[in-house]
Amino acid sequence: MPPYRLPVYHRQSPAVRCINFLCAVLLGLVLIAGIIFFVLWLSLRPHRPKFYLADFSIPNANQQSGLANLPVRFTVAEHNPNQKIGIYYEEIDASVYYGDELVAKGPIAQPFYQGPNSDIALQGQLAATGPATSDPAWGRFSAELGAGSVGMRLVLTSTVQFQVKMWDTKHHHMKAECDFTINGDGTLKQQDKNSQCALYF
């Protein structure tokens, strides 16, 4: 039976121990920096604004002379959910549709800045361009209006830029689409009041 030998332990040189220590410190710093960066990214990541259709009306829509030149009025509530990020809006344009038929179009707001965690009411008033009584769409619109329910769509477009502390993000093209239904008198149905609009960037 061979004699028992104690295991031999080799002590690391001071240089190797120093390198191992520096590597451990560097790894720890990288990990801490990664956690800090992730927390900052979560707190400063821009969230998209939210749009809600508060009101809509076309007074005298039930008259038999078409919609041309009638006022188209609406209010859209916009909410910036970011706690520390403001939003720059360029001019906001609005378009109102009945199916594929354009009812009204025009600008409703000049460029403005919205502060963090705030709400703005966008008031719009446009002049209807159609459908006129000579348009094929008028017969369908008039019939649905007589039945007390007409589906329509409001589209808002703009270019926005988020302001994060001292720097600004790139420009984003924005489109908000609000689908809704009006009553026979041209007012917004109660079920669609304050309904959220779809938002596309």
Note the pLDDT of residue 13.
Answer: 72
Instruction: For residues 37 and 82, state if they share a domain.
Output: no
Task: Between 150 and 13, name the one with better pLDDT.
Answer: 150
What's the pTM? Answer: 0.79
Instruction: For residues 65 and 33, state if they share a domain.
Output: no
CB 87 within 8 A of CB 49: yes
Q: Answer whether residue 4 is part of any domain.
A: no
The structural domain count of the chain equals 2
Note the pLDDT of residue 14.
Answer: 73
Domain that holds residue 27: 11-44
**In terms of Cα–Cα distance, which of 90, 77, 80 is closest to 116?**
80
195's enclosing H/E stretch is strand 195-196
Q: Answer whether residue 1 is part of any domain.
A: no
Q: Which CATH number belongs to the domain containing residue 176 in this structure?
A: 2.60.40
Q: What distances in angstroms separate CA 106 from CA 32, 111, 136, one per listed residue?
A: 52, 14, 23
Instruction: For residues 136 and 37, state if they share a domain.
Output: no
Instruction: For residues 144 and 182, state if they share a domain.
Output: yes
pLDDT tens, position by position, 47-84 = 899 999 999 999 999 888 889 999 999 999 999 999 88
Instruction: For residues 181 and 125, state if they share a domain.
Output: yes
Instruction: For residues 18 and 75, state if they share a domain.
Output: no
Task: Between 9 and 28, name the one with better pLDDT.
Answer: 28
The chain-wide mean pLDDT, for the chain, equals 88
Note the pLDDT of residue 63.
Answer: 84
